[in-house]
Structures are given as C-alpha cells and as structure tokens.
Amino acid sequence: MSEPRELLIEAKVENLPAVNEFVASLLEPFNCPVKVQLQLDLVVEEIFVNIASYAYGESEGKALLRGRTYDNPQSLELSFIDEGIPYNPLQREAPDPDTPLMDRELGGWGIFLVKKNVDNISYEYKDGKNILTIRKNIIMQENEN
C-alpha cells in the first residue's frame, strides 16, 4: 500500500485536466491496461464534474482528492471529498437501461456508469464533508473483456 497523496483544487469543471493528471501520477508505478485507464477517466470525470456542477450550488468551493494504490490486488483507491450540500449519489434509484431511449428520465446515468466501472464504491457524510470513495482493480481478471 502506498502512502496517500492528495490534491486540493477549486471545484471547477475547467480543473478536470489537473485532476486527470493527478490520477495518472498515482498510476505511474503500474502498467495500467488501456481499458482500465479509460474506465477510470470516465469515473473521475463523472464524479469531479458533478462536484464542480452541483456540490456548492451558486457558491464556489474546493474538492479534495485523496488517492493511494495497493499491491495485492493491484488497485487504486480514490476518495472525492467536498464540503458542499450533503448528497449520497448511491441512494439514487438506478435507471433502467431497458427503457426505450425516448422514455428515459434525465439524471442518474452518471452514477450508474460509475458503479459499472469500479470494483467498490462507498459514501459517507462525516464532519460536514461528502466522501465518495471508489476502488478500481488495475489488473483485469481473465474473464473481463
């Protein structure tokens, strides 16, 4: 297990490239498969953009990313921490992917995609902070495509 590393950044959509660079730096010691990198890019973008867009309403605030890697199994754990409006995205009812496109309601698809692309996800509200933590295995299992 690596020591945790942190990035404290203004929760603004235009800071997404810096967030992606931070995540890429955490993955440097590993030979991360392209599929896993793309999945992580999707997850990180969805979570960070939601914080930037909704956590603070009309106000501005910061987001803290705390990341660490594990060796057995090789995995990345990322916590997204903000002091915005308390919101647990895991409580949102999952959309039905079998619903015809024209009948689908807006919203909920981002967290649906996040859940599909990580190995573990948890949420807690502690000390006035939203803490959403994801864990993604870096080495894919043989039965994954």
Flag whether 52 is in a domain: yes
Fill in the amino acid letter for 46. E
CA–CA separation, 26 and 67 (whole Å): 7
Flag whether 145 is in a domain: no
Angle between helices 16-27 and 34-50 (to 10 degrees): 140
Q: What is the CATH classification number for the domain harbouring 9?
A: 3.30.565.10
Flag whether 100 is in a domain: yes
Flag whether 142 is in a domain: no
Flag whether 143 is in a domain: no
The pLDDT assigned to 102 comes to 61
Q: Would you write out the chain's pLDDT as a tens digit for each of its 145 residues?
A: 789 999 999 999 999 999 999 999 999 888 899 999 999 999 999 999 999 999 999 999 999 999 999 998 899 999 999 999 999 988 876 656 666 656 656 555 678 788 999 999 999 999 999 999 999 999 754 444 4
Closest by CA to 120, choosing from 75, 60, 63, is 75
CA 136 to chain centre: 10
Which value, to the nearest 10 degrees, does the dihedral of the CA atoms of residues 137, 138, 144, 145 take?
140
Host domain of residue 21: 5-137
The pLDDT assigned to 143 comes to 45
The pLDDT assigned to 96 comes to 61
Flag whether 58 is in a domain: yes
- Count structural domains, the chain: 1
| CA-based end-to-end distance of the chain | 27
The pLDDT assigned to 142 comes to 47
Query: What radius of gyration, in Å, describes the C-alpha atoms of the chain?
Result: 15
Closest by CA to 114, choosing from 37, 22, 40, 35, is 40
pTM of the full predicted structure? 0.86
Flag whether 80 is in a domain: yes
